[in-house]
Amino acid sequence: MEFGQESAKLVDNLRYQGIGKKVLDAMLLVPRHLFVPTQLRGEAYIDTPLPIGYNQTISAPHMVAIMCDLLDLGEGQNVLEVGTGSGYNAAVMAELVGRTGHVYSVERIAPLAGFAKNNLMDAGCANVTVMLEDGSGGDFPHSPYDRICVTCAAPEIPQPLIEQLKPGGLMVIPVGVASQQLYLVKKDADGTIHKEIKGGVVFVPLVGRFGFSDD
Ligand code: SAM
């Protein structure tokens, strides 16, 4: 594979950071260079966020790995992503849920939704649906979800997203105004919610009805 050696080296570094095997295997199968602007392809396997236009970024590979690891994604799951961006994180999650699972990914910036759809098609990723809307309130037609992955930072955890998580479900979401923390939210079988802070992060803002205002 083009860039195969660079991809293997990147994934090897993530292995030493404690990322689980199923996430590493999925990342080896998704060609990140197909999800960055053409002029940045040479930097696709450096562990850093990269600009994708419209003041947005494709997240750093280690952040994708950490979020996917925390979500404990598996075959057949129904997943919501808020913040499609380039489509890369959606593609990695799609590998993890397999052909019997599906990723519904919501993006609010139309040209980025188009960019992601093209990238996903070029990468041969068939089990992701990209939708153009404000995802801060979730995506009701396909809910409830086994897993929810929010890839932009919210001022607080939006209640509609908690409501659209299945009992037994997991959500990861960066939260914060001045500084941000990554939260893992668990919904028990009886609906009880548990929130754990997993560390400091830096994400672009979730903009929308249950996020920050657009000004
Ligand atoms: N997951 C992406 C990837 O793999 O490239 C990276 C996402 S980027 C860090 C965050 C994205 O969230 C941006 O594309 C931004 O436009 C989007 N976003 C922000 N607020 C949103 C909202 N309310 N609904 C949907 N997308 C939103």
Answer whether 85 contacts ligand 1 (Cβ < 6 A).
yes
3-state secondary structure 8-33: HHHHHHHHHCCCCHHHHHHHHHCCHH
CA pair distance 165, 61, nearest whole angstrom: 25
pLDDT value, residue 1: 57
Q: Provide the sign of the torsion angle of the four alpha carbons 119, 129, 22, 20, taken in this order.
A: positive
For the beta sheet containing 193-201, the strands, ordered from the edge strand earlier in sequence to the opposite edge, are 128-132, 102-107, 78-82, 145-150, 165-175, 180-187, 193-201
- Low-confidence stretches of the chain (pLDDT < 50) are none
- Judge contact between 81 and 161, C-beta under 8 A: no
Fold of 62-201: Rossmann fold (3.40.50)
Question: Can you tell me which residue has the tokens 């959606």?
Answer: 90
59 carries an active-site annotation: yes
Domain locations in the chain as residue ranges: 62-201
Write down the pLDDT at residue 138: 85
pTM, two decimals, is 0.98
Tens digits of residue pLDDT in 151-186: 999 999 999 999 999 999 999 999 999 899 999 999
Please tell me the residue having the least CA distance from ligand 1 atom 25.
107
Contact call for residues 142 and 104 (beta carbons, < 8 A): yes
For the Cβ of 211 lying below 6 angstroms from any atom of ligand 1, the answer is yes
Please give the distance, rounded to the nearest whole angstrom, from the Cα atom of residue 57 to the centre of ligand 1.
8
Instruction: Name the 3-class secondary structure at 36.
Output: coil
pLDDT of residue 12: 96
Can you list the alpha helix ranges (DSSP code H) found in the chain? 4-16, 21-29, 61-71, 88-97, 110-122, 159-163
Question: Is any atom of ligand 1 closer than 6 Å to the C-beta of 176?
Answer: no
Burial environment of residue 100 by CB neighbours within 10 A (0 to 12, 13 to 18, 19 or more): exposed
